[in-house]
Chains A and B, each alone.
Chain A
């Protein structure tokens, strides 16, 4: 054990790891710089000047606000649905034994393991076969499908750590199943659910591939951005929105990390 500390990392390794991390982070930092550029027609570097006026322009844009509100609404409801379904699945898998238990995990992971385009088309054809018009709710259903897995992963990891004797003790002391759930289980899995919910929110807030297939005329924020990427119209506004999106998605990730760091770090195990 002691020898680990006396061995510093080789220089080559340090450089390679540092370069790798720089490769991961510098492009995102560049977004922050571009949000302040005065150039509006191109992506000129270095920026000819810096300004904060685009924040005001983006703030007063109704289409940005509409997309943002829709994204927040969709992500909130999809997260709520995923929380219920994911927790139920996790409870069943970790608290009981039944035939086909292993298959459930596979089933839950499938919507995220398969390329998004497959999930998207499958849901789209299912909706059109059932004559369900594309609406707010079809987006929510699509998102909930792949959000279940993050809630499930977090909840299963926590359920494993609750000792069965706690639940038995509660029952022995006369609590019924609902009281046990309210006073014993919920406080124990609470932070895991919160972390899972935050990650699900971040996942849904950012999703674009499945959304393009399950959305009708509405555009969520990622759809709005995708259109700007394909046909750039207001580059400075896009720059500002991109920067805001980065900051909005960082918060839940940091929150989820702090909530689960004492336990097995399941929070981010696979998106």
Chain B
């Protein structure tokens, strides 16, 4: 009886593909394993595995005499990391990342606000593309463009010359810390390029957050007597904050790990990325390189944890 009923409801398929399909339908776990197997094998095992292997290396140390890695658990490499010049590198990089993030937010906010509240229809699409194209265009080309701009014979000098403001650049360059021989070998240059390259990542998350603020809320604030600046401070800004934090995840993380921008436009003082590159390459000190990579991972981990508590992930 049951056999008859089953053969009526579920007639056996003839083809191999059909039978395979039926088998997978009855055993969804097998299907899931087939789906997840290849990606997990690569990302979960090879990629995560090599990440952990790298992190593990930071607990080893390098033998000063032979230059070989000494495979014994030690915190000596971390002690080395947190002393003198290496600590300077970390502080320099984190400060740069923080300032870049702050200024990126300032530049990105008006663009995001205009796109969210005033751009409509065709303009909105145009705005979206105007943000997307620089965001996705080649990273190296963007740096190259700034090399052209900041060069001594380049466009920036030319503009300031025409405006008779060349003394302004000279005065700025003579300042300690931010100055230098020319813009392309100063922190100022590095900073401008960082902002230029990572700022577009800030716009879309802020725009997404602002689009969720109902217009009536702004009107209600002004109806209740709030001046525009009060409305901004007490209504708009708190509601946009998750978007800013979401965008800052990108700007902060990308600045922390970058080693090409400070190498091409900047002074000879190292950033974390350059230190990692130098330690694993010419210096051959893999444990110290690994310890340096732990710094951005730890900072970003803490940052993501905070961002999550602020609800920034909903704005992504």
Contacts and interface: CB of A to CB of B under 8 A. Distances in A.
Given A85-B39, A238-B144, A269-B316, A253 B46 contact: no
Main secondary structure of the interface of B (DSSP, over half): helix
Contact of A114 (B43, B125, B157, B257): B257
Nearest to B15: A176
Interface residues of A, number: 85
A236 interface: no
25 contacts: A5-B120, A9-B118, A17-B113, A17-B114, A21-B130, A31-B145, A44-B153, A85-B38, A96-B32, A104-B36, A108-B39, A115-B273, A118-B54, A118-B257, A122-B50, A122-B54, A125-B54, A145-B42, A176-B22, A177-B25, A225-B141, A245-B140, A245-B141, A249-B137, A269-B204
Interface in B108-144: 108, 110-111, 113-115, 117-118, 120, 125, 128-144
A203 to B, nearest CB: 8
A45 B159 CA distance: 9
B13 interface: yes
Interface in A6-33: 8-9, 13-14, 16-17, 20-21, 23-25, 27-28, 30-31
Contacts of A5: 120
B35 A121 contact: no
A225 B36 contact: no
Contact of A246 (B34, B44, B137, B293): B137
B53 to A, nearest CB: 6
B140 A222 contact: yes
Residue of A122, A206, A245, A257 with most chain B CB atoms under a 10 A cut-off: A122
Contacts of B130: 21, 24-25
Residue of A20, A86, A114, A119 with most chain B CB atoms under a 10 A cut-off: A20
Nearest to A118: B293
B316 A115 contact: no
A244 to B, nearest CB: 10
A119 B259 CA distance: 13
A131 interface: no
B47 to A, nearest CB: 6
B155 interface: yes
Given A20-B108, A27-B146, 14 more contacts: A9-B118, A27-B142, A28-B134, A30-B145, A31-B145, A34-B148, A85-B39, A116-B257, A121-B54, A125-B54, A129-B50, A145-B42, A176-B21, A229-B147
A118 B301 CA distance: 14
Interface residues of B, number: 98
A202 B136 contact: yes
Interface of A: 1, 3-5, 8-9, 13-14, 16-17, 20-21, 23-25, 27-28, 30-31, 34, 42-46, 84-86, 88-89, 91-92, 96, 98, 104, 107-108, 110-111, 113-119, 121-126, 129, 144-145, 148, 171, 176-178, 199, 202, 206, 208-209, 222, 225-226, 229-230, 238, 242, 245-246, 249-250, 253-254, 257, 261, 265, 268-271
